[in-house]
Structures are given as C-alpha cells and as structure tokens.
Amino acid sequence: MSESTMILFSLSRAVFLASNILLDYSFLTPKRSLWFQIIAFAGTWIVANLVRGLLTPTGLDPFLIGYMLTILYLVPITLVFKESLHAKFFALFMVTSLSQFNFLICLFIELLLFHHMVGGIILAGQLLELSSIPLIKRYITPHIKNILEIISHQNPIFTLFPFLSFILLAFYGIQRTYLLSVFIPLVLSTIIIFIAYYLIAISIDRTKRHQQLEKQLALQRDHYRNLNDSIITTRATRHDLRHHLATILEMLGKKDAAAAQEYLNKLCNYYDDNQIPTVCRNQSVDALICHYLKLAKQENITMVAKLPLPDELGIDDLDLCVIIGNCLENALEACRMMNGAEPRFIEISTIIAKGHLVIKFANSFNGIVQPQGDGFFSAKSGTEHGIGLASVKTLAAKYHGHCLISFDQRVFKASVSLKLPEVFAVPSLLSIGE
C-alpha cells in the first residue's frame, strides 16, 4: 500500500469515526457535561488505538480488528447519553452498520475500477456521509427517536436487528472477495436493511399516532360526559329555580338581606363549580385544556387559559395536542414539586403573528432545573424526564418553527412557534369570538 493511500485511508478512518459519533449525537440525548463527553470519547479512541497496536502483530484481519474495536464505543455511549441501554445499543450498531455499508461500497468500487486500494473514493464516500448529517437530523432523526422511545419502554428485542446487520456487513468485509458477484448481494442486503428500518419507523409512527388518538378520544369522551352532566345539573337547577326564588323572597320579606345575600352567593358558587368552560372552538384542544383545568383545580393550582383558536388551523390536531399536553404536563409536575405554601400557577395563551401560531406557557416552579445539552430536565427520577420537551422540539421543527425555553428564579417559560399554511395564516381568517 503506497504512502498516499495510507494517508487517505487514515483520513477516511478519522472521518468515519467523526461521522459515527455525530450521528450518535443526532439520535441520542447527552446527559453529561461537555468535558466529560470529550474525555469519554477521547479516552476510548486512545484505548482503541492501543488495542489495535497490540492485535495487529497477531495477524488478524485489519477489518476484523476494526469491527471488534467498535464494541469499545459502547462504554462512552453508555456513560454519555441518557436513553436506556437497549436504545444506546440499537443506535450504535445501526449507525456503525450503515457507515460500514458506505465504506464497503466505496472500497468495492475502487477495487473494481483500479484493481487495488487507492483511498480517494473511500474518503469521498466518508465525507459525503459527514456532509449529509444535517439532512439526516432534519428528516430521519424524528423517526429514529420514535424507534428508540419504543425500544426503551416496550420492545428491547428490536436491538437485535442492527446488531445482526452489523454482523452481516462485517462478514462481507472480511471476505476480501472483491467481485461483482459479491458486490451485488452486498447492495441488495443493504437495501433490504434500509427497507426494514423504514418499515419499522412507519409502523412505530402509526402506533404512536394511534395511541395519541386513543388518548385524545378518551379526553373528548370525558369532556362531553362532563358537559352532559352539566346540562343535566342545569336543567335540575332551573326546575328548582322557583324554590330558590321563593326562599330569597321570603328572606327579603323578613328584611333579612344578609341571609338573602349569603344564599345568593352559595347559588353563584354552585353554578361556577358546575360550569364546564369552553376554551376554544378547536374541539380536540378544548377537551385537552379542560382536562388540565380540572386537574389544576383539584390540586389548588391557578390555571389561566387564553386560546382564541378557530376550528381549523392547518396543523394536525394530534400534533397540536401533543405539544400542548406535554408542556402542560411538565408545568403541572413543576407545580406539584413546589412547597404547598407558595403560590402555584399555570398560564397558557396563543397568538397568531407573521404566519405563525405562537403558543406561550408560563408556570411557577421551585427554582431547580437541570440544563443538559439543549434541553432542561426536571429533578424527578426515571428515564422519561425531558422526553416531553424533546417531542415538542421535534414537532416544532416539523412545522418549520422553534421551541424557546427561559426561566428566572420562580417562573419557567416556554414558547412554541409553528408555521401555518398560507391559507390559514391570514389574520382576518382567524379572528373568532370568545
């Protein structure tokens, strides 16, 4: 192997490692400080090179050594990222196996064209993979995160799939048979792997949407049941109205204005307690907000909702409910963790400006937050903290918007912007009465 080929091959290996680590960061969420992350990956790289130096004189195939050393990177990935071990395992071997495919394809092309390793095409392929990471983050990351979420909580068996893919491509790599008869099965095998990942992602996406729809339908059924109970109560109250009026007239006839006023106050409070508010015209959002108004009232949390939303926004109702539901769930959890003597509140409002729907949240909290990467995680235990905000950010990106987080000593704020389709973005079309 010539000196120039050695240099190009070393550069390819460096780019391969860099793109793999960046792809892991695209799919997983870091939980450690930046310095810890740098030390973890740099330390693993040093150890991997030391082990490579020890194994090379033994006569083992260099490609086989490379595949074996991949397993070492499970250590920093386990330490750095917050997802479950199964999800980390899945991400590592999925990324590595697909990068393997890119490497092997470029190697086969070089050997078929030049009959020896040159290194230029391999390096070009690795640089192409590295440059495609922004597109992967935008279009593929949301689907992979869905898969990882399902793996973390329901189906760890999926972790076997990328590992088997890794073994399959490693088998092709160490064969050292660079013929067209081997190249074609390699390409077909990888296409099948890609299709399998696509089918898994689509299946999980449909499952999640079905679960969200079931949850939303349950909320609407509860909301309509409350409305029906309120209507029945109102009819009964109206039927008894003459008795209430007779009682008040009797009190006034006896010049007992104080008793009449107290009786009227009780009636007013009774009507207020049994009234089911209508927050907006969007039935799905209305049912969701009423659900959280009910929860907040049960826990003595002041909740104010101002959402002048029309029937139709051009945004999927399920996506809108996921955003609002996750933010309100986080706000409710933050209020629950406060000292009972402190004032607790949740505020949610919406405005439409410059073709965007902006949803603003504000809530009291105990002043304790844990910044991690580009997110904020609560102090509660478990693997699910921070997942809600991650889902909100993913959906905001889907609608070409953003999610901004800020806080001071006692108030946590979130602002979610979603771009509206042009037909729904005209303010005159969105003005509605409360």
50-62 in b/e burial notation, b at 16+ Cβ within 10 A? eeeeeeeeeeeee
For residue 284, pLDDT over 70 is answered with: yes
- pLDDT tens figures, 217-250: 676 666 666 666 655 666 666 666 667 677 777 7
For residue 408, pLDDT over 50 is answered with: yes
Select the more confidently predicted residue: 370 or 280.
Answer: 280
- Both structure tokens of 87: 């999800």
| Strand boundaries in 301-419, DSSP class E | 302-306, 345-353, 356-364, 370-372, 375-377, 402-407, 411-419
> Cα(first)–Cα(last) distance of the chain, in Å?
77
State residue 287's pLDDT score. 81
State residue 232's pLDDT score. 61
* 57, 167 Cβ separation under 8 angstroms: no
What number is the average pLDDT over the span 324-336? 89
Measured distance CA(145)–CA(394) in Å, rounded: 9
Q: If you average pLDDT over every residue of the chain, what do you get?
A: 80
Measured distance CA(122)–CA(8) in Å, rounded: 8
For residue 130, pLDDT over 80 is answered with: yes
- pLDDT tens figures, 156-209: 777 787 888 888 777 777 776 667 777 787 778 778 877 887 887 787 777 777
For residue 374, pLDDT over 60 is answered with: no
State residue 154's pLDDT score. 64
- pLDDT tens figures, 91-113: 999 899 888 888 888 888 888 88
Residue whose C-alpha is closest to residue 378's, from 336, 346, 339, 344: 336
**Entry pTM:** 0.62
Residue whose C-alpha is closest to residue 313's, from 216, 427, 158, 430: 430
State residue 349's pLDDT score. 92
- pLDDT tens figures, 14-55: 999 999 999 999 999 898 889 999 999 999 999 999 998 898
State residue 382's pLDDT score. 39
Measured distance CA(336)–CA(364) in Å, rounded: 10
Task: Give pairs for 270-277: CB < 8 Å, separation 24+.
Answer: 270/237, 271/237, 274/230, 274/233, 274/234, 275/230, 276/223, 276/226, 276/227, 276/230
Lowest-pLDDT range of 133-137, 277-281, 338-342, 384-388: 384-388
Measured distance CA(153)–CA(383) in Å, rounded: 9
Secondary structure class of 206 (helix, strand, coil):
helix
Measured distance CA(87)–CA(73) in Å, rounded: 14
State residue 380's pLDDT score. 45
Select the more confidently predicted residue: 89 or 374.
Answer: 89
Measured distance CA(251)–CA(141) in Å, rounded: 70
Secondary structure class of 381 (helix, strand, coil):
coil
Select the more confidently predicted residue: 260 or 380.
Answer: 260
Measured distance CA(415)–CA(97) in Å, rounded: 38
**What residue type is 41 in one-letter code?**
F
Select the more confidently predicted residue: 261 or 388.
Answer: 261
